[in-house]
Chain A
Amino acid sequence: MKLIRMVFRGVRDAFKSVFRNFSLSIASVSCISITLVVVAVALLASFNVNNFTETIKKDVTIIVFVESKATDSDLNTIEKNIKKIGNVDSIKLKTKQQEKKELMEEDDVFKSYLGDMDDDELPLKDSFLVKVSKLEEIKDTVEKIKKIELVDTVNYGESMVQQMLNAFKVIRNGTIIIVVALIIVNIFLIVNTIKLAIFARKREISIMRLVGASNLSIKYPFVIEGMVIGMIGSIVPILITIYGYTYFYTYFDGKLFSSLIKLINPQPFVLYVSLIILGIGMVVGMIGSSRAVRKYLKV
């Protein structure tokens, strides 16, 4: 009962105090807000980039054409050699007979043209369909496959994939650096802002101590206050996340540049991101305030 009363009073007092020390609180709140907006954008971008990468990874296939003179045992050796490279998620042999069958099913022109031919006459080649596990290393893998004996040509829509991969890499590394740096700067700023807020209430704290408030109950309201500041600070970033991203998604019709780059559907994606933002705001506020308050609790 006493604990519940204390928790309740703590939250109420935290709100009171945020408004009582309005100018100081507004500084902390806007500082958290600005950071969280950037964090939100970074999160939205990097989740999408991860999503693109996953989708592309599923789609990108290396087609390895084998020279016509290769025998069945040669095909076996080639398959083994490709597997040896590592970074191979799956490999599938597509013989020219299968290719012929597929083409004939697809198109009547092919059907009449290819239907009369013997296997030896076919203008087709045996091929391997290779999927990689690490898309970033696809170029390297392709180079290695090219060097294998009896491999004719290797194909994977390189320029497109490579360009996208480079762009993603830049975006992802950039956002990670920005987010980490901002959170560090922000914790530092919060510690200092709440230190100032505590300093402004040094008198109150000293009186609390004088009348017999326990250290925990002195510390607790400030920690809650830090949390409340973090929560208030995350309101604007959350609104921007929800409405901004939904608008962005509708505006671009769910895809960027080409239909290959699909954006993540806003529902329930924006809600998850909002929760992360709220969590970061609260945790940063709490870390900042408990660090700041610790300094003043030595009697």
Chain B
Amino acid sequence: MELISISNVNVRYPNGVNALHDLSVKIKRGDFVFVIGGSGSGKSTFIKMLYREIKPNKGEIILGGLNVAKLRNSKVYKLRRKLGIVFQDYRLLPKLTVYENVAFALECIGAKKTEIRVKTLKAIELVGLKSKTRVYPDQLSGGEQQRVAIARAIVNNPKLLICDEPTGNLDPDMSMEIVKLLDNINKTTGTTIIMATHDREIVNKMKKRVIVLKDGYLIKDYEKGKYYDEAD
């Protein structure tokens, strides 16, 4: 059963750059998919298109029953509530504690106080930061900050978690830990995960489905476990 169905999508930026060409791909519920490719290959564009930060100028994106490509600005929040999004730069609020940063996502959508409490603590526990609940982001390592961002992204039990180079700012060990955490989330909660990265080592180790982009074209789509590093 498909969670995401993308057909013949074309993305052109206002300056005329064509960042994605005639791209079609389907992603199943519960999948873990890597999107890889060199710098400027269109990974971020692909991610942004999924959470409707940008609109494709052609094609169709159906995500959990929502016609994303046609979604009006005022309705984008409906999509965002089904998603969790994680970035390379964490995007935490520096004046809020770990707990408050995670709870923020639920407060924004008007959740009940008790619900906020229960879900927030659960998410923080899941990412392994139970002992740092009252700590501020600047007192955390990069890896820990990314864990907070992940907790915030999954706190509302999203159908889909999309990550744009979540390990881009981290050293290899920490990167591996973060990816293992994502894998664990994928396995325990069944959340579908799409992760853009250019870290071939991680992709090699994880043995997941891999979509390869180059200059805006989808050039390869490896089944789970079929990918091996062909760079060398």
| A associates with B | yes
Which residues of A are in contact with B by a Cβ distance under 8 Å?
Answer: 2, 5-6, 9, 20, 203-204, 206-215, 217, 298-299
In the bound complex, CA of A209 to CA of B105 (Å): 10
Out of B73, B85, B107, which one reaches A210, CB within 8 Å?
Answer: B85
Contacts of A20 in B (CB 8 A): 95
CB distance B108 to A212 under 8 Å? Answer: yes
Q: A215-B74, A299-B73 are in contact. Are A203 and B91 (CB under 8 A)?
A: yes
Contacts of A9 in B (CB 8 A): 107
CB distance A6 to B77 under 8 Å? Answer: no
Chain A's closest residue to B85 (CB) is A210
Task: Give B226 Cβ to nearest chain A Cβ, in Å.
Answer: 33
CB distance B80 to A203 under 8 Å? Answer: no
Task: Give B205 Cβ to nearest chain A Cβ, in Å.
Answer: 29
User: Does more than half of chain A's interface fall in helix, strand or loop, or is it mixed?
Assistant: helix
10 contacts between A and B (CB under 8 A): A6-B110, A203-B93, A206-B91, A209-B80, A211-B80, A211-B152, A212-B105, A215-B74, A215-B77, A299-B76
In the bound complex, CA of A212 to CA of B107 (Å): 10
B207 located at the interface, meaning its Cβ lies under 8 Å from any Cβ of chain A in the complex: no
Q: A2-B110, A5-B110 are in contact. Are A213 and B77 (CB under 8 A)?
A: yes
Q: A203-B93, A204-B93, A299-B76 are in contact. Are A211 and B104 (CB under 8 A)?
A: yes
Chain B's closest residue to A214 (CB) is B77
Chain B 82-110: CB-based contact to A (< 8 A → 1; otherwise 0): 01010000010101000000001101111
Interface size counted on chain B using CB atoms at 8 A:
25
CB distance A210 to B91 under 8 Å? Answer: yes
CB distance A207 to B110 under 8 Å? Answer: no
Contacts of A209 in B (CB 8 A): 76-77, 80
CB distance A212 to B93 under 8 Å? Answer: no
Contacts of A213 in B (CB 8 A): 77, 108-109
Contacts of A210 in B (CB 8 A): 51, 80, 85, 91
Contacts of A217 in B (CB 8 A): 108, 110
Chain B's closest residue to A206 (CB) is B91
Chain B's closest residue to A218 (CB) is B108
In the bound complex, CA of A208 to CA of B105 (Å): 7
Out of A2, A208, A298, A299, which one reaches B108, CB within 8 Å?
Answer: A208
B119 located at the interface, meaning its Cβ lies under 8 Å from any Cβ of chain A in the complex: no
B12 located at the interface, meaning its Cβ lies under 8 Å from any Cβ of chain A in the complex: no
Contacts of B107 in A (CB 8 A): 9
Q: A298-B73, A299-B73, A299-B76 are in contact. Are A211 and B108 (CB under 8 A)?
A: yes
In the bound complex, CA of A287 to CA of B73 (Å): 23
Contacts of B83 in A (CB 8 A): 212
Contacts of A212 in B (CB 8 A): 77-81, 83, 105, 108-109, 156
In the bound complex, CA of A209 to CA of B74 (Å): 11
CB distance A211 to B109 under 8 Å? Answer: yes
Tell which of A208, A210, A211, A213 has the most Cβ of chain B within 10 Å. Answer: A211
Chain B 14-36: CB-based contact to A (< 8 A → 1; otherwise 0): 00000000000000000000000
In the bound complex, CA of A260 to CA of B7 (Å): 86
Tell me which residues from 150 to 175 in chain B have a Cβ below 8 Å from any Cβ of chain A.
152, 156
